[in-house]
Amino acid sequence: MTENSTETTPADFWFDPLCPWAWMTSRWMLEVEKVRPVTVRWHVMSLAVLNEPKLDELPEQYRESLLQAWGPVRVCIAAELKHGSDVLGPLYTALGTRFHNQDLPKDRATIVAALEEAGLPADLADAADSDAYDTELRASHEAGISLVGTEVGTPVIAVPGADGEQVAFFGPVVTPAPKGEAAAKLWDGTLLVAATPGFYEIKRTRTVGPIFD
The answer to whether position 210 is within a domain reads no
- The whole-number average pLDDT for the span 12-28 is 97
Top pLDDT among 203 and 70 is at: 70
The answer to whether position 71 is within a domain reads yes
> 133-142, 147-156, 168-177 — which one is most confidently predicted on average?
133-142
In contact, 190 and 158? CB cutoff 8 Å: no
Top pLDDT among 212 and 72 is at: 72
> 41-50, 51-60, 63-72, 188-197 — which one is most confidently predicted on average?
41-50
Task: Name the average pLDDT for the chain.
Answer: 92
How many domains are contained in the chain? Answer: 1
pLDDT for 138 equals 97
Top pLDDT among 199 and 144 is at: 144
The answer to whether position 79 is within a domain reads yes
Q: pLDDT tens digit string along 95-120?
A: 999 999 999 999 999 999 999 999 99
Number of helices (H), then strands (E), in the chain: 7, 4
The answer to whether position 201 is within a domain reads no
> 7-21, 59-73, 147-161, 184-198 — which one is most confidently predicted on average?
7-21
The answer to whether position 211 is within a domain reads no
User: What CATH number is associated with residue 114?
Assistant: 3.40.30.10
Is residue 13's pLDDT more than 50?
Answer: yes
Residues 87 and 118: their CA atoms lie apart, in Å, by 7
The answer to whether position 188 is within a domain reads yes
Rounded to whole angstroms, what are the CA distances from 191 to 143, 179, 199? 20, 17, 11
pLDDT for 6 equals 62
The answer to whether position 62 is within a domain reads yes
Domain that holds residue 59: 9-194
The answer to whether position 202 is within a domain reads no
pLDDT for 121 equals 98
Q: Where are the beta strands (DSSP E) in 16-90?
A: 38-44
Instruction: Assign 2 a pLDDT band (cuts: 50, 70, 90).
Output: very low
Q: What percent of the chain has pLDDT over 70?
A: 97
Q: What percent of the chain has pLDDT over 90?
A: 70
Residues 25 and 4: their CA atoms lie apart, in Å, by 24
> What residues have CB less than 8 Å from 113, skipping those under 6 apart?
94, 98
pLDDT for 65 equals 79
